[in-house]
Structure 1
Amino acid sequence: MPDKARPNEMRASNADRDAVVQRLQEAAGEGRIDFSELTERVDRALAAKTYAELEPLTADLPSGRSADPGEPLLLKGGLHGASRTGRWQVPGQISAHGGMGGVTIDFTRTDCRLPVIDLEAHGQMAGVTIVIPEGWAAETTEMDPGIGGLKDKTTPEREAGAPLIRLSGTGGMAGVVIRHPNAWERRKLRRLS
């Protein structure tokens, strides 16, 4: 089995290239780069094949996302369970412990401006369920499936500017599930919007 590529050697997607182009356009609008430099960098971004080729194009620019990562959030399922749903402020770090009651984290109605959210999940006895909007992506390589396992039901396509959930922790006895909204949840979201 071949070794995994280092993160910056991984192939870039259309969404990754689009996100860099968007940031470059914002930087030009802010007066940070001139038109000729914008054109040159956009051409390089559109031709980039790996993250290593994309990273230098915005390395000298401040992040276009002026979001406060906030205080870390800790959710403990305990005996009765815990959930974070509806509209809520998403911090940069979240820790969820399923306990005996389970934990549900629903990001579908949040307005998150963070590029990356580090989420440490421990399924324990009742599990952790994470629901992310379509267009968001999940990175689950740091997750230990434990006995209960990890069920990643997300699609790999990430929209330009959409957050990435970087999942770590362990599945424990009941496991961890990360997914997009199911049909019932999508109907409910349409009614709420």
Structure 2
Amino acid sequence: MTAESPEPLHRGELRVSHADREAVVERLSEAAAEGRIDLTELDTRLEQALNARTYADLAPLTADLPPAVALDPGQPLTLKGGFHGAERVGRWRVPSKITAYGGMAGVKLDFTRTDCRLPEVEVEAHGQMAGVTIVIPEGWAAETTGMDPGLGGLRDKTTPDRLSGTPLIRLVGTGGPAGVVIRHPNGLERRRLRRDKR
């Protein structure tokens, strides 16, 4: 007599991995940001996702949500300070790759009024003679270990407290003679942002 082979498990009975749970957590966070589920329901579903053991546990948590839309990384953006300076402020479309050359008059990148849903944005900054200033909203975080401070240095005035669903600004390049600054809005900029939201 031959032993009977065990019946194959259905997908729902298979154990999930940490990556599977994280993917569902990310989708739920996106759905909350889109207004599809409220914060109370988000908390409930997140707890269920983090405690899920099988695909059958995870599947119902996103079954009533539309599939996540692939985000368009956009065309790379290059800004050159030259003799007159360059900036991106206000509402502008953020691509996944930005290169900024400070030149003789400097470059300013202000993300505080943008609606960026990319998980990560790479900013390659070269301070050159006048420097590059990057302003990111409260709740966004920056990764600056890939940056060469050069003579002018790198001044990272951001906090590491990144909110779920916000981009990570990955800063690379070199400070050059004038340096590179990355920071959150200063007092004046915060007042302007509050006034604009009224």
TM-score by length of 1: 0.71
User: For 1:3-41, what per-residue CA distance to the aligned partner results, in whole angstroms no more than 9, with x for missing partners?
Assistant: xxxxxxxxxxxxxx99862425779x9xxxxxxxx8774
Question: Quick one: distance in 2 between partners of 1:130 and 1:25?
Answer: 26
Contact 1:116–1:166 (CA<8 Å) still a contact in 2? yes
Q: Distance in 2 between matches of 1:130 and 1:153?
A: 10
Q: Distance between the aligned counterparts of 2:155 and 2:141, measured in 1? A: 14
2:47 paired with 1:43 = no
* Distance in structure 1 (CA, Å) of the matches to 2:120 and 2:177: 27
2:150 paired residue number: 146
Selected match of 1:103 from 107, 112, 120: 107
Q: Which of 124, 131, 141 matches 1:137?
A: 141
Q: Which residue of 2 aligns with 1:170?
A: 174
> Distance between the aligned counterparts of 1:176 and 1:169, measured in 2?
9
Provide closer, same or farther for how the CA distance between residues 139 and 26 of structure 1 changes in structure 2, counting only shifts above 3 A. Answer: closer
Query: Are 1:122 and 2:126 counterparts?
Result: yes
State the Cα distance separating 1:64 from its structure 2 match.
Answer: 4.0
Q: Does 1:182 align with 2:182?
A: no
Contact 2:132 2:180 in 1 (8 A): yes
TM-score by length of 2: 0.69
**Percentage of pairs with the same residue:** 69
| Partner deviation per Cα, 1:28-85 (whole Å, 9 max, x = no partner) | x9xxxxxxxx8774227xxxxxxxxxxxxxxxxxx94632110000000001100000
Using a 3 Å threshold, how does the CA distance of structure 1 residues 64 and 164 change in structure 2: closer, same or farther? farther
Q: RMSD of the alignment, in Å?
A: 2.7
Q: Tell me if structure 2 keeps the 8 A contact 1:19–1:160.
A: no
2:51 aligns to what SS in structure 1?
Answer: helix
Measured in 2, the distance between the counterparts of 1:180 and 1:25 equals 23
Matched, 1:112 2:116: yes
Partner amino acid for 2:121?
A: I
Structure showing greater radius of gyration is 2
Q: Could you tell me how far apart the structure 2 residues matched to 1:92 and 1:25 are?
A: 20
Which consecutive unaligned segments of at least 5 residues does structure 2 have? 1-20, 37-45, 53-66
Structure 1 residue runs of 5 or longer lacking an equivalent are 1-16, 30-37, 45-62
Which whole-Å CA distance do the structure 2 matches of 1:25 and 1:149 have between them? 36
